[in-house]
Amino acid sequence: MSKFNTTLIHGGKVDDNNTGAINTPVYNSSTYVYPKFGADVRWDYERSGNPTRASVEQLLAKLENGFAGFAFASGMAAITAAFSLFKPGDNIVIGENIYGGTFRYINEYLKPNGITFTSVDTRDSDAVEKAISADTKAIYFETVTNPLLQLTDVRQITAIAKKHHILTLIDNTFLSPYLQQPLNLGADVVIHSATKYLAGHSDLVAGVVVAKDKDVAEQIYNYQNTTGAVLPPQESSILQRGIQTLAVRMDRHLFNVQKVIEFLEKDSHISVIHYPGHDGDKNFEAIKDECKGFGGVLSFELNPGLDAKEFVNHIKVFSFAVSLGAVESLAEVPAFQSHAEIPREERLKVGIKDELIRLSIGLEDYHDLIDDIKQALEYV
Ligand SMILES: *Cc1c(COP(=O)(O)O)cnc(C)c1O
């Protein structure tokens, strides 16, 4: 078994080319020829399987230490596939601060179809345990939440789930397998919006599910093959290329984020910095050894009454855009963009104020990032 950084580069080889090409070819082929009637073929039709997609899926399974990985056309397609494990009457205990699109999918599609949800602060293990009922089949959460970067202790929650014989599903988009491998901490399913750190270059939309066990993997495969929101061959190839540099990119994200935080800590426009270790997160000590770092996203609150919109209107090196996890630095105002679909009272209840600004720190020279933040803060 090779080490993680070696697997990043070499873990996605599919032995299916006769040319010696060092990369898995992009197989633009919707259908495959049968050598003869009744032949037992590996590939027959692209929705069911494609060698380029299989290459990146195999790589993802290795990186997460799962039984099998599945690549989807978006993070939301991956999340939809993960929730297909449940049926009407089932209850799912869910983190109260989850990705906006997941929140919408649950409210507009899963709840009307009879799956019930109990929303809890997954940082509080007693609350999680209390929320579990006879109908509960799973716990679903994000290890590091968006945009407040709150931490859930994965080991603690998976221990509760195991005690109650239910599944743990984790959307780990914000950490990536380089920083944390939830399946090794007891989770059953890990999900990524591969659009973010895994692809890493703002050049594609993709999603990933990795299942720890064969049984769950077979159900996810059946859903993927049945509903067809698969990642196309070209995108699979681009995703695999992105993943090869995950470790080096992530190391630079972590370095730059620390430099930016050191600057923000001293700036008088800012009241709070949200990044693990900076805002008194009670799970910080516990989770510190569950991951290698906390990623390249941080958020901060301007002093009450200051105008976050003026900040994003004046940034020059940062781009004013949603999304995260790519080579270029991005800034956005969650209350009006990424989290605009969450009703204002609920948004404020979970701490997403109008003065909150989220930064995704890229790979630029950190001096330029700091200078840019400094000049934009003059306008708030
Ligand atoms: C972006 C994101 C998603 C959705 O992924 P898409 O690729 O945009 O469909 C899901 N979860 C988290 C945490 C995200 O950041």
Tell me: pLDDT of 299 over 80: yes
Question: Distance between CA 238 and CA 326 in Å, rounded?
Answer: 14
Q: Is 163 a catalytic residue?
A: no
Tell me: pLDDT of 282 over 90: no
Sign, CA torsion 206/212/213/214: positive
**Token digits for 369?**
């990032």
Q: Is 197 a catalytic residue?
A: no
Tell me: pLDDT of 313 over 80: yes
- CA-nearest of 134, 137, 47, 127 to 83 is 137
Q: Which value, to the nearest 10 degrees, does the dihedral of the CA atoms of residues 89, 209, 47, 103 take?
A: 50
* 246-378 has the same fold as 4-241: no
Q: Which of 80, 174, 196, 208 to mutate to test the pocket of ligand 1 (most atoms within 8 A of CB)?
A: 196
* CA 62 to centroid of chain Cα atoms: 17
Q: Is 249 a catalytic residue?
A: no
Model pTM score: 0.96
> In this structure, how many other beta carbons lie within 10 angstroms of the beta carbon of residue 121?
17
State the pLDDT confidence band at 342, using cuts at 50, 70 and 90: confident
Identify the three-state secondary structure at position 296.
coil
CATH fold of the domain at 246-378: Aspartate Aminotransferase, domain 1 (3.90.1150)
CA angle, 15 as apex, 227 and 247 as ends, to 5°? Answer: 80
Residue nearest to atom 2 of ligand 1 (CA): 193
Secondary structure letter of residue 230 according to DSSP: B
Secondary structure element (H or E) that encloses residue 189, with its range: strand 189-193
Q: Which of 62, 90, 99, 252 is catalytic?
A: 99
Tell me: pLDDT of 252 over 70: yes
Mean pLDDT of the chain: 95
Rounded distance from Cα 75 to ligand 1 centre (Å): 5
**Token digits for 261?**
């935080």
Q: Which of 90, 153, 171, 372 is catalytic?
A: 171
pLDDT tens for each residue of 171-219 = 999 999 999 999 999 999 999 999 999 999 999 999 999 999 999 999 9
Nearest ligand 1 atom, CA 76: 9
> Cβ < 6 Å from ligand 1: which residues?
74-76, 99, 101, 142, 146, 171, 173, 193, 195-196, 205, 207
Nearest ligand 1 atom, CA 102: 10
**Token digits for 222?**
């059946």
Asked if 318 and 373 touch (Cβ cutoff 8 Å), the reply is yes
What pLDDT, on the 0 to 100 scale, is given for residue 287? Answer: 86
Rounded distance from Cα 99 to ligand 1 centre (Å): 7
What pLDDT, on the 0 to 100 scale, is given for residue 180? Answer: 97
> In this structure, how many other beta carbons lie within 10 angstroms of the beta carbon of residue 30?
10
Asked if 366 and 260 touch (Cβ cutoff 8 Å), the reply is yes
Q: Is 15 a catalytic residue?
A: no
Question: Distance between CA 324 and CA 46 in Å, rounded?
Answer: 30
Question: Distance between CA 364 and CA 250 in Å, rounded?
Answer: 13
Domain boundaries, the chain: 4-241, 246-378
What pLDDT, on the 0 to 100 scale, is given for residue 15? Answer: 66
Choose the CATH number for 4-241 among 3.40.50.10310, 1.10.1760.20, 3.40.640.10, 3.30.1490.20: 3.40.640.10
The percentage of residues in the chain with a pLDDT greater than 70, rounded to a whole number, is 99
Q: Which of 103, 171, 175, 193 to mutate to test the pocket of ligand 1 (most atoms within 8 A of CB)?
A: 193
Nearest ligand 1 atom, CA 142: 13
Question: Distance between CA 191 and CA 199 in Å, rounded?
Answer: 14
Q: Which of 32, 47, 155, 203 is catalytic?
A: 47
The percentage of residues in the chain with a pLDDT greater than 90, rounded to a whole number, is 88
Asked if 191 and 183 touch (Cβ cutoff 8 Å), the reply is no
Residue 29 burial class via C-beta count within 10 angstroms: exposed 0-12, middle 13-18, buried 19 and up: middle
Name, in order, each residue with C-beta under 8 angstroms of 104's C-beta and a sequence gap of 6 or more.
Answer: 341
Rounded distance from Cα 56 to ligand 1 centre (Å): 19
- CA-nearest of 294, 365, 380 to 328 is 365
Given its phi and psi angles, is residue 114 left (phi above 0), alpha (psi -120 to 50 degrees) or beta? left
Rounded distance from Cα 76 to ligand 1 centre (Å): 6
